[in-house]
Amino acid sequence: MTVQAASKRVNIIQGEYKVINDPNVVLTTILGSCVAACLRDPVAGVGGMNHFLLPGSASAMAGGGDATRYGVHLMELLINGLLKQGARRDRLEAKIFGGAKTIATFSNVGEQNAQFAMQFLRDEGIPVVGSSTGGEFGRKLEFWPVSGRARQYPLTGAETQKTVAMEQRPAPVAKPVETSIEFF
């Protein structure tokens, strides 16, 4: 197996997704209870990653809140971004990472995230060719979107707690969009 040297690292934070067709780019993220879905089309040479905090459905998003925190929103954005870059839905393949139970006294949102991602992909007919979910510790993830190679590193207890603190922060407040219209 040859080792791929990445000339450029692109970090994905909670609520983001990226689609890349450059074989010299590696996507990275740090996960606690969050989940990252890594999708690619091996024929088109394009892939991407998302990073979501909560499982989600249309009903969950209807109550308001930041849509970028929800899996359903980010999964749809990632798939549509891949299709816009020349991917075909019938060639997509996925890898799922994250979903740790990082705080023993809380509900296991990590497990819910992982189950949501797997079910979403099953419903979309996208095969999951690899996954690493659950556990008690977070993980650092690297994904080469063109080749599909993925590598993860387990985090220590202290690193996981730092990740949990970042996940519990409120999402950044979006700046309001100028909606006034001036007629002449």
Residue 177 belongs to some domain of the structure? no
Containing structural domain, residue 89: 8-168
User: Does 34 participate in catalysis according to the annotation?
Assistant: yes
Q: Which of 34, 72, 79, 82 is catalytic?
A: 34
Q: If you search the block for the tokens 């999708």, which residue do you land on?
A: 39
State the chain's mean pLDDT as an integer.
Answer: 82
Choice between 144 and 166, residue whose per-residue pLDDT is larger:
144
183: confidence class by pLDDT, cuts 50, 70, 90: very low
Residue 28 belongs to some domain of the structure? yes
Q: How far is CA 25 from the centre of its chain?
A: 16
Residue 164 belongs to some domain of the structure? yes
Judge whether residue 54 has pLDDT over 60: yes
Other CB atoms within 10 A of residue 122 CB: 11
Judge whether residue 25 has pLDDT over 90: yes
Q: What would the two tokens of residue 70 be?
A: 């929800």
Residue 81 belongs to some domain of the structure? yes
Choice between 157 and 70, residue whose per-residue pLDDT is larger:
70
Judge whether residue 19 has pLDDT over 60: yes
Number of domains in the chain: 1
Provide the pLDDT for residue 55. Answer: 77
CA distance 37 to 29: 11
Residue 54 belongs to some domain of the structure? yes
CA distance 68 to 71: 8
177: confidence class by pLDDT, cuts 50, 70, 90: very low
Residue 116 belongs to some domain of the structure? yes
pTM equals: 0.78
Q: Tell me, letter by letter, the H, E, C secondary structure of the chain.
A: CCCCCCCEEEECCCCCEEEECCCCEEEEEEECCCEEEEEEECCCCEEEEECECECCCHHHHHCCCCHHHEHHHHHHHHHHHHHHCCCCHHHCEEEEEECCCCCCCCCCHHHHHHHHHHHHHHHHCCCEEEEEECCCCCEEEEECCCCCCEEEEECCHHHHHHHHHHHHCCCCCCCCCCCCCCCC
182: confidence class by pLDDT, cuts 50, 70, 90: very low
Mean per-residue pLDDT for 47-63? 72
Residue 128 belongs to some domain of the structure? yes
Residue 1 belongs to some domain of the structure? no
Tens of pLDDT, residue by residue over 83-103, are 999 999 999 999 999 999 877
Angle between helices 71-84 and 109-124 in degrees, nearest 10: 40
Tens of pLDDT, residue by residue over 32-44, are 999 999 999 999 9
Q: Kindly report the CATH number assigned to the domain that includes residue 49.
A: 3.30.1330.200
